[in-house]
Structure 1
């Protein structure tokens, strides 16, 4: 595929992922939302469905919709390194766009919500116990599971397609998401955090850039480790 084709597919797929993913967080936590108080499992399933939809939208490019997946597949050998920039740029741009659309959809709820932390939580992840080292370890572990299991699907006699990846994301969130909110995707966190910074959100507060490197570095390390192990094993 050309640079432009990869960029467009990843832009659309990642945009859909973030629209549904950030959207379910907004539904569950913003003031006066009909889904207020929906809880952690609602958020997990919302992100899983976001992955399901995003994979189908971006299927022509391989539907990475995640820089950690792209880098993991590159070290594993399934993706050409020359294509990596198109994937990464499309994913980041799509993540920003998806987050902007969520703000448009929930504009009135952002206006009435008084807690700046909840407004930021719609866009990006944050730890329950802030310790950059251990928060990074959590993201490494979650993303390692994501990459290694995705690459293990190729050896399975049962092909569930995007549904398998969606259920895997739900499982990672339910099992490993509690400490950090499980970014497991640098674009998923960085793109919306950029959107939070420039959007005119009433009373939004800080974008917490001091933490922003954790959900970027951790998933990249985890993705590469998952790709390397899969290359060695399979």
Structure 2
């Protein structure tokens, strides 16, 4: 089977770091690929706008960063880009393997670190165009397993948060904002001893040993506090 000539292969680069993206595009053009940086809205765009900018170029291979600055998380562009016919290769500074596994689940062919050599990037593009593997099955399975373990851990932590009463969720929300037991007691016109008892109950239900660990658990699952705080007095922080 004949392989497409490099000059006929379109490689799109989506990265908010202009110098990195342009340097990569220049290197790929020297290899005779039709490569270009896809310009993103400077003040941030919707998913539809970003996907539109990508699909107008019709890339065969898309080199996609995950951190797109004002344009948010590049993760959301993987699936629509794959549906549009592009082989998506993630190039990122994020080293978290569970995040890499999520990229693969969404359809990315592989993930490369930004510290990867240019030769490694070029080899990945060449193999992508030729339909050759760009990631071993063992590595793919390992990364997806890391993603599944992350989801399981988050489910367990969310179940612990679900044990909290409305008042305990409010108190944990205050702790997330850096408020002290004294502040919380004054806010609720209750004694510090009462608040300390409630904090101990929170720690027991979350199965942690300190307020710092409780706050860390909440951050780990992206919990930012109850949508509205129950005001038991007119006192304002």
Using structure 2 for the length normalisation, give the TM-score.
0.25
More helix by share: 1
Which structure exhibits the higher relative contact order, with contacts defined as CA atoms closer than 8 Å and separated by 6 or more residues?
A: 1
Q: TM-score, normalised by structure 1?
A: 0.25
Larger Cα-atom Rg: 2
